[in-house]
Amino acid sequence: MLFNPITLPNGAVLKNRLVKAAMEESLARPDRTPSDELIQLYRRWSEGGCALLLTGNVMVDGNHMTGAGNLVLDKGQQLARFTAWSAAAQSGGASVWLQINHPGRQAPSKLNDHSLAPSAINLDMGNFSKLFAPARAMNEAEINRVIEQFADTALQAERAGFDGVQIHAAHGYLISQFLSPLVNQRTDKWGGSVEKRAQLLISVVDAVRQRVQPGFAVAVKLNSADFQRGGFGPDDAQVVLQLLADKQITLIELSGGSYEAPAMQGQSRDERTLAREAYFLDFAEQLAHHTQIPLMTTGGIHRREIAEQVLAKGVDLVGMATALALQPDLPNLWQQGIGVQVSLKPVTWKNKTLASLAVMAQVRRLMRDLGQANVNMAKPRPYWWVLITDQIADARHVRRLKKWRRSL
């Protein structure tokens, strides 16, 4: 079943049910275009056997970014490097979709003196809160501009040869913030009921669909739950799925969490216990009964038997992330009957935020290593070491980003 093909609503045929889920690579060149390492990384993943590759998040606005190493694809960006990236990602027979995103209030303070959000509610990260720019409530013009930016980026992605885009509406980024009753306390048409809180997502989907060709994939990454008391939950997700039912959506990926409650790393803030693998499978199984749109779930999957279990629960596609940073050809090995399983050693530090940052740094290091032409397999390093070297690399990215912004 895992290696059976699937035909998606836009007519595209995927050769199997395995997807490389998005991971933030932080491998942009100084001009915010894909580096040689990023192109090599996706060539390796394409040869590894996944049917679909979802890129790490690409920013729709160079003035609002999740990190200084991000790529930016807007209507003014040159496409040659992006075209080379899509070609490399397709070279081994995979399809590739560009994940497009706006950070909203999850934007580092070292990059901006303020961030945009539905309401002026700052990120609560305890002692780490000061690392994020203070949130300012968006006005109507700014909301409409963001909608256009998503549409512009999707059109550029299509022109650069990508097979589709995934609109990031999860993990506490801007669209997810509008969906959350904790962050969105607006009283206008963009806030209130879940239907109103979903209007930014619906407007973005409509704008993207109007710009691209019918066969171009338009997917959405949606939280099944925020894992915060009083936040966006499965009942809300069910309503959003119904709102998306007639929007020509190609695929919905169900995930969960945010920077405040990183459920995507197996941690919650509302005392719910998450499985060690397939974190969001129970939610996906529950929501699968309420939509005809193909569903995908990801979160900690690194064994074939778990991947098979996901499909047996009625989910259409299996997303893997960290496992493919450790073993980029894992799908090929599984198809050959080689029972490989890979996972990172857990971080046992008491400070959960620091532990989360260390895991992300480890994954970025693995991807950076795999982007080297002479590296066949990346090996995890000590967490303290990758966290320090990641901060050094980020400081270099910050200097380059500020120089790039001055040149615009």
Domains delineated in the chain: 6-342 (3.20.20.70)
3-state secondary structure of 217: strand
> Can you count the helices (H) and strands (E) in the chain?
13, 13
Q: Which residue has the tokens 């691209």?
A: 212
Distance between CA 227 and CA 361 in Å, rounded?
Answer: 23
Structure tokens at 336: 């050959």
Give, in order, the Cα–Cα distances in Å from 216 to each of 154, 167, 201: 10, 13, 18
* Amino acid of residue 219: A
Structure tokens at 272: 């719910």
Query: How would you label 55-72 residue by residue, b for 16+ Cβ within 10 Å and e otherwise?
Result: bbbbbbbbebbbbbbbbb
- The arithmetic mean of pLDDT across residues 132-159, rounded, is 98
- The arithmetic mean of pLDDT across residues 391-399, rounded, is 95
- The arithmetic mean of pLDDT across residues 169-194, rounded, is 95
Helix axes 352-370, 36-47, angle to 10 degrees: 80
- DSSP character at residue 28: B
Selection from 106, 105, 35, 113 nearest residue 69 by Cα = 35
219-239 pLDDT tens trace: 999 987 666 777 788 889 889
35-55 pLDDT tens trace: 999 999 999 999 999 999 999
- The arithmetic mean of pLDDT across residues 367-392, rounded, is 91
- DSSP assignment of 354-388: HHHHHHHHHHHHHHHHHTSTT-SS-----HHHHHH
- The arithmetic mean of pLDDT across residues 266-279, rounded, is 44
- pLDDT at residue 270 in the model: 36
